[in-house]
Chains A and B, each alone.
Chain A
């Protein structure tokens, strides 16, 4: 199985900060990588697909990069509505595997 190691598991940041979250795959997954945002009690929302493509309707402050085994989600200027938990997901092979999640909290 492909393991997705996501870091950090939690972080505190301020409005306006640049935030970077990383996912490392235990083997190459090409660009079959998506990023999700989840707020408490809500359904996960896809932000990024194919590693770097922005989901329609998602603000341009979100961006993704990477290929193979190293992937990054960047929020260029954190906004109040961005405080949430973020997950990566590989869908290159089965079983599909999610990262452990990164909780972004207000500093």
Chain B
């Protein structure tokens, strides 16, 4: 079964850091660019950023709202993507999902599989 499972969420104070993990199974993780998407309570979906496949350099892109504060990385040997969040703000409070973006063979898989999400609450 193709699956993504996020972990690492929780309550954190403003200005602190938190690292989320996204563990993949059921597909060749290294063949996909991986995106993170968040949803604040009662709000719409917001793309956070992605990390390209290693064949494309494993480079990253971010939304303006998190650039410079968030870092995405990947460990293909473990099929895990990470979202390192620093200098957290109250407005970062959201459910964070990982999802697979485009694949090496096709764009047709983009955003077809989502993890259940992990809640991050930034509050003092």
The residues of A with any CB-CB pair to B shorter than 8 Å are: 1, 32, 34, 36, 38, 43-44, 46, 49-50, 53, 55, 87, 89, 91, 94-101
Contact B45 A49 (CB under 8 A): no
Residue B55 interfacial (CB < 8 Å):
no
Number of A-B pairs whose CB atoms are under 8 Å?
A: 57
- Whether the pair B110, A98 counts as a contact (CB closer than 8 A) is no
Instruction: Indicate if the CB atoms of A50 and B108 lie closer than 8 Å.
Output: yes
Please give, as numbers and ranges, the residues of chain B lying within 8 Å of A50 by CB-CB distance: 107-108
Chain B, 41-71, contact with A by CB distance < 8 Å: what is the 0/1 string?
A: 0001111011000000000011110000000
Chain B residues within 8 Å of A, Cβ to Cβ: 35, 44-47, 49-50, 61-64, 97, 101-102, 107-108, 110-112, 114-117
- Is the contact region of chain A dominated by helix, strand, or loop, or is it mixed? loop
- Give Cα distance in the complex from A1 to B63, angstroms: 10
Known contacts A44-B45, A98-B46, A101-B44; is-contact A89 B63 (Cβ 8 Å): no
CA distance A103 to B110 in the complex (A): 23
